[in-house]
């Protein structure tokens, strides 16, 4: 009897305390914003003087092009999608880029370099429903990062590219056929503004 009464009293106190102190406990961690990488300025090479002649070298005025500071904020899932590029696909439980995927990435890189040189891109990594959804969250990120790294090697500035993994949460196609799974193991490229 006594034990139970005590238990009850502490339980009620507990819930009261819980309701009371909730707000105090709220802690917001500020989101870490990655440093903005400014485009590199290349110093024009000074032409070497021809060997035979000993004429004084006229100093050429170096025209300094104003570098526009691009404030490239990383794209996020909250941004507005204005266009999507061709997607790439992966094998089961793999983030290896196939030759097909590399070809697509080359076309995407060319587009991003020539047609949309300032566009920011959100790379989404996705998985099929067969794996564990917890593991797939990590696998999807590996897929998006593999695509990002390849685009960077093709010359697309890394600060234009952001990655996010949805694991198996956003399938392209519902269903549990091999065909549907193959379509869902993918990376998407969203141009955002």
Partner 1 sequence: MTRRLLITIILMLIPALLHSQEGYREVTASGAHKLTLTVDAPRRLGGSEASKVAHETAEALQFDMVLAGPFTVTAPPATAAATGIRPGEFDFAPWRGAGVDLLVKSGYTVAGNAMTMEFRLYNVTQGKEILAKRYSGRPGDVRRIAHTFSDDIMEALTGQRGPFTGKIAFVSTRSGAKAIFLMDYDGHNVQQLTKNRSINLNPDFSPNGKEIIFTSYRQGNPDLFRRELFSGAEARISSYRGINATGAWSPDGKSIALTLSKDGNSEIYTISRDGKNARRLTNTSAIEVSPAWSPDGRKIVFVSDRLGKPQIFIMNADGSGIRRLTTSGSYNVSPRWSPKGDRIVYCRQEGGFQVYAINPDGSNDTRLTNEGSNEHPRWSPDGRFITFSSTRGGPEGIYVMRADGSGQTRVSQGKAKDSHPTWSPRW
| Positions in the binding site for partner 1 (CB under 8 A) | 1, 4-5, 8, 11-12, 14-16, 18-19, 22-23, 25-29, 31-32, 34, 74, 76-78, 93, 130-135, 137-139, 141-142, 145, 163-166, 169-170
Q: Do the Cβ atoms of 38 and 67 come closer than 8 Å?
A: yes
Contacts 24+ apart (CB under 8 A), 111-116: 111/85, 112/85, 112/151, 112/156, 112/160, 113/154, 113/155, 113/156, 116/191
Min. distance of Cβ 1 from partner 1 in angstroms?
Answer: 5
Min. distance of Cβ 109 from partner 1 in angstroms?
Answer: 22
Closest CB to partner 1 among 105 and 122?
122
Q: Do the Cβ atoms of 105 and 88 come closer than 8 Å?
A: yes
Closest CB to partner 1 among 35 and 44?
35
Min. distance of Cβ 92 from partner 1 in angstroms?
Answer: 10
Min. distance of Cβ 121 from partner 1 in angstroms?
Answer: 15
Closest CB to partner 1 among 143 and 186?
143
Closest CB to partner 1 among 108 and 136?
136
Q: What angle do CA 43, 47, 53 make, to 5 degrees?
A: 160
Supply 67's token pair: 């570098």
Q: List the one residue out of 107, 98, 190, 113 whose CA is nearest residue 146.
A: 98
């Amino acid at each position: 009897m006594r034990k139970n009464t005590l238990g009850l009293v502490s339980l009620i106190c507990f819930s009261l305390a819980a309701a009371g102190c909730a707000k105090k406990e709220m802690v917001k961690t500020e989101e870490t914003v990655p440093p903005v990488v400014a485009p590199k300025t290349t110093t024009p090479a000074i032409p070497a003087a021809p060997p035979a002649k000993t004429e004084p070298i006229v100093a050429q005025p170096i025209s300094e092009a104003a570098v526009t500071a691009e404030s490239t904020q990383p794209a996020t899932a909250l941004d507005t999608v204005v266009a999507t590029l061709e997607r790439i696909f992966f094998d089961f439980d793999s983030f290896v880029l196939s030759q097909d995927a590399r070809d697509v990435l080359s076309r995407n890189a060319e587009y991003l370099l020539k047609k949309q040189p300032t566009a920011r891109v959100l790379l989404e990594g996705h998985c099929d429903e067969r794996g564990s959804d917890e593991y797939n969250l990590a696998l999807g990120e590996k897929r998006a990062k593999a695509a990002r790294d390849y685009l960077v090697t093709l010359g697309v500035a890394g600060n234009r590219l952001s990655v996010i993994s949805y694991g198996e949460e956003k399938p392209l196609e519902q269903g549990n056929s091999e065909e549907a799974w193959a379509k869902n193991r993918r990376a998407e490229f969203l141009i955002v503004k």
